[in-house]
A and B are shown apart, each in its own frame.
Chain A
């Protein structure tokens, strides 16, 4: 039996972007307000899962042609790389640096190397949860 899920699909098209935006917001705001890479990553995953529920896995794969295992690896590399980069500046492993910059459009913004590390966390969380859901979902 084929059900007509046009309502779900239409709603998803709108809601997914809202969730993604919220996730990005929570990720970037993490250093000052509740949130961070972990929750941001989980929310991003939930947006993708919503897509998967509304459409199907192959469609989602076409929309987002991402290899999540590679994504996990990139995330881990980014995290380790951020931590290890401090060695180049002759300070102990895992020393972060930050400063304030005047960026176009955004004005005065603090840029913090911890953000890069958090981005690693974000990628790993998205990668791992998506790997799990995808493999279990495709399993016969």
Chain B
């Protein structure tokens, strides 16, 4: 219970935020918020020794026991790693936001409530073992992220970005829910642990591929993979602490978490390997390539996040290859899983610091446009140092954490070429090549980010505010992270033993029984091998290209705007809105006659279709009664009257003919021995003809032109179709009487049980008096309706209509 409770702790804390903001206005609300992530971080850190030995902590809260739905907090190496990232970076971001957001001008109570909801949601995502609660928290991250992106809701771009991220991530979330449901049907359990245990059987299930693709869609949309990355650059309209927290360190890694968590279930499939590694690598290249096109500091960082997420994704895909080779723990395949997690940690740290620096630059100069910035090196030395450390780590330079994981990334990609399943040997060579090109661009944009902001000429006239160094409080968090970046380089194996290896053991439970078996030793110096030459190549080519950046950066503008994915998204939204509207307008004409045409056509199609499908054209003339002379006469009268109605020029003729039809029917009742019906029919027909005449008499004079009903071929076909259909139904129903009639019972009991002689009336008032009761109620309603329609003519009195 306690672990489940801890997930909800931030949300509970959020309840008090508005109160604190209103009552204790002189103290920045962030200071109260800060307690939550710090306390959580310290508590979760005490679980580290357990997971380092391969242990897990589980706590369960029954939520809807009858449906087997529970909130299960399950902490293993992978969950704990993410939990520590969420709480740790969360604490740093809250600290940063205290100095970033002004307590007098900003709506802090909104901000911190959203942030704490997000923190709970994220903790829930990474700790949930139950797929339904995982989905619940997943959507909560989407919603809180939506709220945070739209924090400055008076700006158009904020609302646009929030909506876009919402549409894309919720689309993925729903797909993922589908995958979860399929998985739970396959494995008959909602628990991910239990699904992992039965993963070999799951692979042969019919739903396996569907579940795989659907869950990957969820992961790809959340983690901004190609082609769903487009929401991330637009999400940069959020306040910078939000970008640093959600859109670099935590939420976008939820998709990576999902892929890592489900790797033991899906890795047996080649599709998984190809999709995850392939899309990941494509995203990595795509993001790094287009990062250089950006003019906005946060835009560059957004694309670099996309690229780095792709890198981690491709490593996770490569780690799936470890399931297919014998003794993977002894080959180079073991590096892929390790590198993925290691780079994930590295990325969270350096990207967080970079976003904070971007926020500082924005805050202290008033612009994030990289063309206006420059020469801030001497004015903002600390920010510059932090940015440099972060960027160099991102570029993969030695002395920084990123170098180590980049080396392992190259190792893993090179190993993939040796993999001989799933036609990897033919196409595998693409992996290291694309990875290398992507890395070159990563190198360039890292340098582009730091040197075009801080080096070069200072342009004070273009800056909205005179630039100066940020206050100390704002610098604490980025400096702390920068120190971590360097520390990771010098003590990689401590990070590896404490955090990465337990997570790797959780991703690849079939290879390792405990984290201690993960036999990866990180060293800065591997000797002269292919990876090192590739890295040197990256530095050389990247350096050269950065040197000449100004000359070829313009070539990005050649790329036509109309072909971008953003334009595709906009058009899709436009189509969804306008297109759906237009489509509705094509058939929602507003004319009742159109709707009647639809209804009757479908009636004919459905009924006749059912007849054909079931072979129900069994028409049997054996049981028919003989036709008498009077019947023929009345039928001819009826037909004559009906034709008169259709063909008459005058409405009056039609009304009289209608009366003739009614009286003929009454005559039918007479000769078919239904005296009650005949009586009623005669009187009712008289009244209704009188009412028709009344309506006729009051027709408006202007449009009173007497003309014959226009002949429409389509209407004629539908009318004939309906007639034929109903004739078929009647004939077929008559020929196939399945059960004897109930009327024998009435005949026998009408006197003995009901004390009457007229069966019709006894049925009406006794056997089935219920119907009569409500029929007279209908009659009463009709009378009152006519009374009110005539007496209360609201529409005639001007200004009294509710719409006016």
Contacts and interface: CB of A to CB of B under 8 A. Distances in A.
27 contacts: A31-B756, A31-B765, A32-B756, A33-B757, A34-B676, A35-B679, A42-B684, A69-B787, A72-B784, A79-B772, A83-B773, A94-B770, A96-B754, A112-B756, A114-B765, A114-B766, A117-B769, A117-B772, A117-B773, A124-B779, A129-B783, A131-B786, A132-B787, A135-B787, A135-B790, A136-B786, A139-B790
A135 B791 contact: yes
Nearest to B784: A69
Contact of B680 (A31, A39, A98, A128): A39
Contacts of B754: 96, 98, 114
Contacts of B758: 30-36
B687 to A, nearest CB: 7
Interface string B651-695: 000000000000000000000000110011001100100010010
Interface string B757-772: 1101110111001101
Q: Please indicate which of the listed interface residues A39, A42, A117, A131 has the most CB atoms of chain B within 10 Å of its own CB.
A: A39
| Chain B interface main SS type | helix
Contact of B766 (A33, A37, A69, A96): A96
Contacts of A98: 754-755
A69 B684 CA distance: 20
Interface string A37-65: 11100110010000000000000000000
A125 B761 contact: no
Interface in B772-804: 772-773, 776-777, 779-780, 782-784, 786-787, 790-791
B780 A76 contact: yes
Q: Please indicate which of the listed interface residues A98, A112, A124 has the most CB atoms of chain B within 10 Å of its own CB.
A: A124
B790 A136 contact: yes
Contacts of A125: 776, 779
Interface in B340-369: none
Nearest to A137: B694
A132 B756 contact: no
B773 A36 contact: no
Interface of A: 26, 30-39, 42-43, 46, 69, 72-73, 75-76, 79-80, 83, 94, 96, 98, 110, 112, 114, 117-118, 120-121, 124-125, 127-129, 131-132, 135-136, 139
Contacts of B784: 69, 72, 131
A51 to B, nearest CB: 16
The range of chain B's interface size is 35 or more
Contact of A112 (B687, B755, B787): B755
| Chain A interface main SS type | helix
A33 B755 CA distance: 13
A139 to B, nearest CB: 5
B776 A36 contact: no
A94 B772 CA distance: 11
B776 A124 contact: yes
A34 B773 CA distance: 20
B679 A34 contact: yes
A110 B397 CA distance: 110
A79 B773 contact: yes
Q: Which 3 A-B pairs have the closest CB atoms?
A: A32-B757, A128-B783, A34-B675
Given A36-B761, A129-B687, A72 B756 contact: no
Contacts of A120: 776
Interface in B370-399: none
Contacts of B757: 31-33
Given A42-B680, A117-B769, A136-B786, A76 B776 contact: yes
A26 B683 CA distance: 14
A55 B274 CA distance: 95
Contact of B762 (A31, A73, A80): A31
Contact of A75 (B691, B694, B776): B776
A73 B779 CA distance: 11
Given A33-B758, A114-B762, A83 B769 contact: yes
Nearest to A99: B755
A38 B773 CA distance: 12
Contacts of B755: 31, 98, 110, 112
Nearest to B676: A34
Nearest to B686: A46
A40 B387 CA distance: 98
A29 to B, nearest CB: 8
A96 B773 CA distance: 14
A116 B764 CA distance: 13
A99 B5 CA distance: 73
Contacts of A117: 765, 769, 772-773
Contact of B776 (A34, A46, A79, A110): A79
Nearest to A42: B683
B762 to A, nearest CB: 7
Nearest to B762: A31
Nearest to A94: B769
A32 B754 CA distance: 11
Q: Please indicate which of the listed interface residues B687, B762, B766 has the most CB atoms of chain A within 10 Å of its own CB.
A: B766
Contacts of A110: 755
Contacts of A114: 754, 756, 762, 765-766, 769
Contacts of A79: 772-773, 776
Contacts of B675: 34
Contacts of B680: 38-39, 42
A107 to B, nearest CB: 17
B776 A35 contact: no
Contacts of A39: 676, 679-680, 683
B683 A46 contact: yes
A38 B787 CA distance: 21
Contact of B787 (A30, A121, A124, A131): A131
B788 to A, nearest CB: 9
Q: Please indicate which of the listed interface residues A46, A80, A117, A128 has the most CB atoms of chain B within 10 Å of its own CB.
A: A128
A122 to B, nearest CB: 10
A71 to B, nearest CB: 10
A125 B777 CA distance: 10
A50 B237 CA distance: 81
A132 B779 CA distance: 11
A76 B777 contact: yes
Contacts of B694: 136
A134 to B, nearest CB: 9
Nearest to B679: A39
B386 to A, nearest CB: 83
A105 to B, nearest CB: 21
